[in-house]
Chain A
Amino acid sequence: EVQLVESGGGLVQPGASLKLSCVASGFTFSDYWMSWVRQTPGKTMEWIGDIKYDGSYTNYAPSLKNRFTISRDNAKSTLYLQMSNVRSEDTATYYCTRIRRGCDYWGQGVMVTVSS
């Protein structure tokens, strides 16, 4: 069974950094592109970016490219999202997804709240 489990969220102050993790199981992680998508409290869905199966290539939403970094450790079957200089508008639920025929599997999501 495919499982994606995110962690690392919580309450963070504006301007701080935060690193989210997503542990994958039930499939060969190193065979798949992976992505991060976030959902705002108002339920708007926003694609953050994705990463090639071997970690050699990444794509980002232009508005987030300078502050967010996606990486992966295939030996640990883990996807990461490094968030820096966070802002109140980064408050959202963050999902990792597997990419195959679109985003075919999603994690349960992890909440990030940016507030002082």
Chain B
Amino acid sequence: DVVLTQTPSTLSATIGQSVSISCRSSQSLLDSAGNTYLYWYLQRPGQSPQLLIYLVSNLGSGVPNRFSGSGSGTDFTLKISGVEAEDLGVYYCMQATHAPLTFGSGTKLEIK
């Protein structure tokens, strides 16, 4: 199975600060058709996960544009440009290039 390693495991930020989360894959997520099936989710406390980013860098429906995704191959990054209070929670990356679909272990974002 593909292992996704997220760093850091915990992140503490002040309102307005920009932060980045890394997701590194044990294998390239680029498939033979040139697609990279890497996604980012936010799980707020007591809620189910919500899609933030699909296919590495595309913003999900209704997601604020302070969120952005980048990367290729095995290295991917989620950036929040100007953290807001509602951004607290756990962020997960997920890959669907290789079966079975797998998730990272999560990055908890705390607001100082």
Contacts and interface: CB of A to CB of B under 8 A. Distances in A.
A31 interface: no
A73 B49 CA distance: 25
A61 to B, nearest CB: 5
Nearest to B55: A101
Interface string A73-116: 00000000000000000000001000001111111110000000
Nearest to B99: A59
A94 to B, nearest CB: 11
Contacts of B50: 106
B92 to A, nearest CB: 6
Interface in A26-62: 43-47, 59-62
Interface residues of A, number: 19
B105 A104 contact: no
B32 interface: no
Given A95-B48, A106-B48, A107-B48, A101 B103 contact: no
Interface in B13-65: 37, 39, 41, 48-51, 54-55, 58, 60-61
A43 B106 contact: yes
Nearest to A43: B106
B64 to A, nearest CB: 17
For the complex of A and B, the 9 pairs showing the least CB-CB separation, nearest first, are: A45-B103, A102-B39, A101-B54, A47-B101, A106-B48, A61-B100, A102-B54, A104-B51, A106-B49
Interface of A: 43-47, 59-62, 95, 101-109
Given A105-B51, A109-B48, 19 more contacts: A43-B90, A43-B106, A44-B105, A45-B49, A45-B94, A62-B100, A101-B39, A101-B51, A101-B54, A101-B55, A102-B39, A102-B51, A102-B96, A103-B41, A103-B49, A104-B61, A106-B48, A106-B49, A107-B48
